[in-house]
Amino acid sequence: MEFRGKTVEEATQLGLSELGLTLEQVDVVVKEEPTKGLFGRLKGNAVVEITKKANDLERASTFLQGILDILDVNAKVNISNDGENDVLTLITDDSASIIGYRGEVLDALQTLAGAMANVGSTDYKKVVVDCENYRAKREETLISLAHKLEYKATQMRREVQLEPMSPFERRIIHTALANSETVTTKSDGKEPNRFVVIVPNDKDEFSTPYNAGRNKDSNRRDRNRNAKKGGRDQKGRGQKRPQNSISAPKKTSFGFGTYLGNSLKDKQD
């Protein structure tokens, strides 16, 4: 809105009074300034344009909406507060693409929105980005998983390693087992592959950790590999070559060949 006064200060004060805002809450742009005439007298009026600054959450919401538009995702951002945190809820017909595998896309959007909300702020403000109540559903799933693995770790007397999780999800596991009488929890590894370890109080010091975070495909490949290895052992052991059997002569080749070594080895962190 534009406001007029004899001076820029007067026009600004008139605008602030009418809008009911303070100078810190607005952006002021000087559109016109009075000119000095004869003997220093001012001619004309000052004109200023005053607009209310977007608060941190509104700024994050606008930023998030811009990202969604760039990604060509038809979604809208609603602002709310759950009593503890500011929440940006994404309303869309394509929730799967916004949430991603186990919330990876949603977590990335939350990180960006949180960074935007805290630009220039001295006090950290936590911003939650949600879609179709995914956060509550995921929390319920993780709490249930935590108690199942608590029982497993206690029975096996072995540490149980979970799959890599975001800090938000790791915090849910730690909180769920904070009052456990049989286990404690800790985080291990480096981001983005940091994971929770459930440690039984009655741990067998000679046991190896149980990796509950391995996927089914990895376990299946290991079983198949072991089965093949076992099959070769059983077939080859204890069997002697018949005396009258004739083995094929070995071929000898001369010249230069190419040696392909183990140039691509699996690396472990």
DSSP string, the chain: -EEEESSHHHHHHHHHHHHT--GGGEEEEEEE-PEE-GGG-EES-EEEEEEEPP-HHHHHHHHHHHHHHHTT--EEEEEEE-SSSEEEEEEES-HHHHH-GGGHHHHHHHHHHHHHHTTT-SS---EEEESTTHHHHHHHHHHHHHHHHHHHHHHHTS-EEPPP--HHHHHHHHHHTTT-SSEEEEEES-TTS-EEEEEETT--TTPPPEETT--HHHHHHHHHHHHHHHHHHHHHTT----TT--PPPPP---S--------SPPP--
40 and 64 share one domain: no
pLDDT at 102 (0 to 100): 87
pLDDT at 4 (0 to 100): 86
The 3-state secondary structure of 56-67 reads: HHHHHHHHHHHH
Collect all residues with Cβ–Cβ distance below 8 Å to 80 and sequence separation of at least 6: 86, 87, 89
As given in the structure block, the two tokens for residue 173 are 């596991």
Pick out the chain residues at pLDDT < 50. 217-219, 222, 231-269
84 and 124 share one domain: yes
Kindly state whether residue 190 falls inside one of the protein's structural domains: yes
One-letter identity of residue 121? S
44 and 102 share one domain: no
Kindly state whether residue 253 falls inside one of the protein's structural domains: no
Number of separate domains in the chain? 3
pLDDT at 259 (0 to 100): 31
124 and 62 share one domain: yes
Kindly state whether residue 160 falls inside one of the protein's structural domains: yes
The CATH number for 82's domain is 3.30.300.20
Structural domain containing residue 128: 56-132
As given in the structure block, the two tokens for residue 152 are 């497993």
42 and 72 share one domain: no
64 and 121 share one domain: yes
How confident is the model over 55-88, as pLDDT tens digits?
788 889 999 999 999 989 999 999 998 888 899 9
Kindly state whether residue 197 falls inside one of the protein's structural domains: yes
Domain C-terminal end among 170, 185, 211: 211
The CATH number for 202's domain is 3.30.1370.50
94 and 128 share one domain: yes
Domain C-terminal end among 52, 75, 91: 52
Kindly state whether residue 221 falls inside one of the protein's structural domains: no
pLDDT at 256 (0 to 100): 33
Cβ–Cβ under 8 Å, residues 158 and 210: yes
Rg of the chain (C-alpha set): 33
Domain C-terminal end among 85, 112, 132: 132
- Cα–Cα distance, 32 to 2 (Å, whole number): 10
pLDDT at 219 (0 to 100): 47
142 and 189 share one domain: yes
159 and 205 share one domain: yes
As given in the structure block, the two tokens for residue 142 are 């993780």
Kindly state whether residue 242 falls inside one of the protein's structural domains: no
pLDDT at 257 (0 to 100): 36
63 and 15 share one domain: no
Kindly state whether residue 262 falls inside one of the protein's structural domains: no
112 and 70 share one domain: yes
115 and 165 share one domain: no
Kindly state whether residue 269 falls inside one of the protein's structural domains: no
Cβ–Cβ under 8 Å, residues 154 and 146: no
- Cα–Cα distance, 207 to 182 (Å, whole number): 17
